[in-house]
Amino acid sequence: MPKAKYSWLNDIDFDLINTFKTIANPHLRKKIYKKFKNMNPTKERFEELKKWKPKTEVDKAYRYFVINRTAYSGIMNLPNWGFHPAKSVQPSKWGERINTAGEKIESNVLITCKSFEDVILSHSSRKVWLFVDPPYFKADQKRAYFHSFDIDDHLKLLKTLKRTEHLFCLTYDNCEEIKELYSWANIYEIEWRYHTANSNVTGRKMGKELIISNYQIF
């Protein structure tokens, strides 16, 4: 698929969107980059960051990024320490990562914190492709997500996608309830092995997910 000329990143998580907006700004991105220098991730520092209440956009983005990179599986809701010195991406590489990402989203990218309905039902004179990644249907909602979905939210998303004028690609956990709800669309089953810093290849769990679309993928 060719690279999109214009992109729209949206999420209901304000702290995540603030992080994207901050690294999209070259001036603010440099400030975060400097904070990574000579940083040594420790569990003690991790616990300090969890309690910290930053005031500026840069400090909020810095806190969010560091917790995400050092938490187990990057889970931000009730995060647990998960950084492994030999397996995790080291802080010396973090600046390079945010520079690469920031350069990709600093122009021709709209970054918002809106409801999914506002985005999915928006009109465009151009051809639009949507990638939609909601909370899993059968996940531990309170443990895994800041902004979880209840059954009404899942049904609202379903109805919204039925109304959209755009192409969409939706990912969900592989369960019979979702297969039944989206029986009107194209459904593809995929598998992969989860990777965390504290796991080895043989001990990794198999992930099973559904890719759902309103167009033919395979």
Same structural domain, 140 and 208: yes
In whole numbers, what is the pLDDT of the chain averaged over residues? 88
> CB neighbours of 25 closer than 8 A, spacing ≥ 6?
102, 106
- State residue 199's pLDDT score: 53
Residue at which a domain ends, from 84, 105, 126:
105
- State residue 131's pLDDT score: 98
**Rounded (5°) CA angle 214-217-218:** 140
Query: Cα-Cα-Cα-Cα dihedral of 54, 108, 158, 168, to 10°?
Result: -140
Same structural domain, 88 and 140: no
The angle that helices 91-105 and 14-24 make with each other, rounded to 10 degrees, is 80
Give the pLDDT mean for 113-141: 92
Residue at which a domain ends, from 55, 70, 105:
105
Model confidence at 128, pLDDT cuts 50, 70, 90, reads very high
Q: Is 185 left (phi over 0), alpha (psi -120 to 50) or beta?
A: beta
- CA atoms of 130 and 121, how far apart (whole Å): 11
Predicted model pTM: 0.85
Residue 112 in contact with residue 10, Cβ under 8 Å? yes
Pairing state between β 109-112 and 7-10: parallel
Using the predicted structure, report yes or no on whether residue 124 has a pLDDT greater than 80. Answer: yes
Does residue 4 belong to any structural domain of this protein? no
Does residue 7 belong to any structural domain of this protein? no
Same structural domain, 22 and 94: yes
Give the pLDDT mean for 128-155: 85
Does residue 2 belong to any structural domain of this protein? no
Does residue 79 belong to any structural domain of this protein? yes
- CA atoms of 109 and 40, how far apart (whole Å): 33
Q: Concatenated DSSP letters for 20-48?
A: HHHHHSHHHHHHHHHHHTT----HHHHHH
Same structural domain, 43 and 94: yes
User: What are the tens digits of pLDDT across the range 15-68?
Assistant: 999 999 999 999 999 999 888 877 888 899 889 989 999 999 999 999 999 998
* Domain with 194 in it: 115-213
- State residue 170's pLDDT score: 98
User: What are the tens digits of pLDDT across the range 152-199?
Assistant: 999 999 999 999 999 999 999 999 999 999 999 999 999 877 655 455
Alpha carbon distances (Å) from 115 to 3, 55, 97, 160:
25, 25, 28, 11
3-state secondary structure of 184: coil
- State residue 112's pLDDT score: 98
Count structural domains, the chain. Answer: 2
Give the pLDDT mean for 55-82: 85
